[in-house]
Chain A
Amino acid sequence: MQTSDHMKWLRLAIGAVVMLALPQLVTSSFAIDIFIRILLFSFIGVAWNLMGGYAKQLSLGHAAYFGLGAYTSTIMQVNYGISPWIGMIAGGVVAMLASLPIGWLCFRLRGPYFTIATIATAQVLMLIFLKFRDFAWGAEGTTIPNLGSAPLMMQFEEKSSYYYVVLGLLVVGLWITHRIEQSWIGYYLVAIGEDEDAAEAIGVNAPKVKRDIYMISAFLTALAGTFYTQYIYFIDPATAFSFNVSIEAALVSIVGGIGTLWGPVMGTVLLETTSALLQSWLGSSVGGIQLTVYSLILMAVILWRPTGLIGFATDVYHRYVRRKPARA
């Protein structure tokens, strides 16, 4: 136990050094942009994974919280001059509160019906913000006033600063997931995902556990929304409540391995690098070919490795490195 603990800390320390040094070593703005996208979608995936992965409540409506986070901080900043750092937390709280009635409605449904209901909630919010002209700029959206270098307003001249912000978010998300995974809540979530009736029968208050984890998941997703808006200096309902955000959140987790700590990160690294590389190799030759290849890779992963990359890596590890039955 002692040595494996030391190994774990050593690996974490090396990982931390590499991640901190990365934007200093690779200075191309294009590369840093890709790193930021990877960290951002890893973080969204981690937030989604808490509910979608561990408790297997497949939401395709997390754009609702991404958008609420983005709009809350932007409205506070543009209309009232409040720092997005505060707006970010406020957005998280708004998303958390919104998750209560949304969850109350959607959790009545199970399986695919639940998923469809979550899609609808994100779409309804998008429509509301499209019509919300006086308060939230309607369909045109708005740009965020550029203040140059203003760290207190979450605006930086160096792209690498954004990198560190989103890296911080991801670390928080992973830390929360780790704490949950190691506690009774983690067991309860997996039990609910496996069989809700059996979980209830042994004393799991499934509605309450689902509600609570949905709140945490919504809170974290909203933080990503604020960050993204600050990063691209623009907001409109179509980007903030984009269905792509909902899909990406689920996809990176499913590809990487749902219900695992590192699954969403692995999935994002694979999908984002593949998509970026395909874009630069094939994007200029035949229009749309990169999307076709991307989709084929996606199908292959889901068909042959339904447990995701983490499941695949664990199998290989146990088969060739350490002969031990896989642990759930």
Chain B
Amino acid sequence: MAEALVIKGLSKRFGGLRAVQDVSFTVQENETVALIGPNGAGKTTSFHLITGFHRPDSGSVLAFGHEVVGLRPHDVCALGMARTFQVAKPFGAMTVLANVMTGAFLRDRHVAAARDKALEAIEFVGLSAREQTPAKDLTTIDQRRLEMARALATQPRILLLDEVMAGLNPAEIDQAVALVKKLSARGLTIVIVEHVMRAIMAVARHIVVLDHGQKIAEGAPKEIVENPEVIRAYLGSYVHPPAQGDAHA
């Protein structure tokens, strides 16, 4: 298997806050990797750094061998790496179809061709019934579906999903898990940031754990749930009660 995404020594400071410190991990082609950690661990910042929304202070991000640090988000997308946002960002005034067509235009400027590609992506995520609905009228799960369809329409090889399950009810989480598995079956390499452990265990073959901007563990799901470092990060430790300002658990 080839390496799809190689992240080495990624660091970013915001003033005095070290948001991401020397984070490295590798994602194999067609693998699904989960990035987890308590709130403020640096997961979303990592996504921003990988996709060009923030520029890292140091480190490198190779997508299929191409250095993407220094590229603008649209160039990163053109290289085949698409993302969704933690807070869904639909183009509210546009219909679902128009939203997804906008993504499809990256690879084909013709309206008819973009429409065909968009319809396919919309069907894939199960949103066909909402095709002509203005995006602002969608429910939460349908907005997440739309984000995925829009990203999918850009024909990515790597897909970064930022908390696509937040705010969903258990039944919807099952649907979302099924959708992520379907994306993986399509051959996509997926990096997923998620808090819903049940979902992570269902989709990820490999987990990277961040805390305070640093990678504290990495491995198969089974190893991760038993890792004392990870348990301490999430629950705090009995030996040393968390100091003030450290009480995130």
Interface residues of chain A, those whose CB is within 8 Å of chain B, are 182-184, 187-188, 190-191, 194-195, 197-206, 259, 325-328
Contact = CB atoms under 8 A, between A and B. Distances in A.
B154 A202 contact: yes
Contacts of B18: none
A272 B74 CA distance: 42
B85 A191 contact: no
Contacts, number: 91
Interface in B99-115: 99, 101-103, 105-106, 109, 111, 114
Minimum-distance CB pairs A-B, first 4: A203-B106, A198-B89, A194-B91, A200-B73
A156 to B, nearest CB: 41
Nearest to A326: B134
B151 A328 contact: no
15 contacts: A182-B111, A183-B109, A184-B105, A187-B105, A188-B105, A190-B93, A190-B98, A200-B72, A200-B74, A201-B89, A201-B151, A202-B103, A203-B78, A328-B94, A328-B95
B215 interface: no
B83 A201 contact: yes
B204 to A, nearest CB: 22
A187 B114 CA distance: 11
Nearest to A203: B106
B89 A197 contact: yes
Given A191-B91, A194-B93, A203-B106, 16 more contacts: A184-B111, A191-B94, A191-B102, A194-B90, A195-B90, A197-B85, A199-B102, A200-B53, A200-B74, A200-B77, A201-B89, A202-B82, A202-B103, A205-B72, A328-B94, A328-B95
B207 to A, nearest CB: 24
B78 A201 contact: no
B206 interface: no
A183 B111 contact: yes
A201 B85 CA distance: 9
B91 A198 contact: yes
A217 B241 CA distance: 62
Given A190-B93, A325-B132, A198 B111 contact: no
B189 interface: no
B101 A202 contact: no
Interface in B114-171: 114, 132-134, 150-151, 153-154
- Residue of B77, B102, B154 with most chain A CB atoms under a 10 A cut-off: B102
Nearest to B88: A198
B92 interface: yes
B214 interface: no
B51 interface: yes
Interface residues of B, number: 34
A205 B133 contact: no
Contacts of A182: 111
Contacts of B154: 202-203
B28 to A, nearest CB: 24
Contacts of A259: 93
Given A194-B91, A194-B93, A328-B134, A203 B72 contact: no
A265 to B, nearest CB: 20
Contacts of B53: 197, 200-201
B91 A203 contact: no
Contact of B132 (A202, A206, A327): A327
B93 A202 contact: no
B190 to A, nearest CB: 16
A187 B154 CA distance: 14
A204 B111 contact: no
A275 B90 CA distance: 39
Given A183-B111, A326-B134, A328-B98, A198 B85 contact: yes
Contact of A184 (B73, B109, B151): B109
Contact of B102 (A187, A325, A326, A327): A187
A210 to B, nearest CB: 12
Contacts of B93: 190, 194, 259, 328
Contact of B74 (A190, A204, A326): A204
A311 to B, nearest CB: 10
A181 to B, nearest CB: 11
A192 to B, nearest CB: 9
Contacts of A200: 53, 72-74, 77
A279 to B, nearest CB: 36
A118 to B, nearest CB: 23
Contacts of A197: 53, 73, 85, 89
A328 B98 CA distance: 8
B105 A201 contact: no
Contacts of B106: 202-204
Contacts of A188: 102, 105
B51 A201 contact: yes
- Residue of A184, A194, A259, A328 with most chain B CB atoms under a 10 A cut-off: A328
A327 B132 CA distance: 7
B130 to A, nearest CB: 11
Contact of A327 (B74, B83, B95): B95
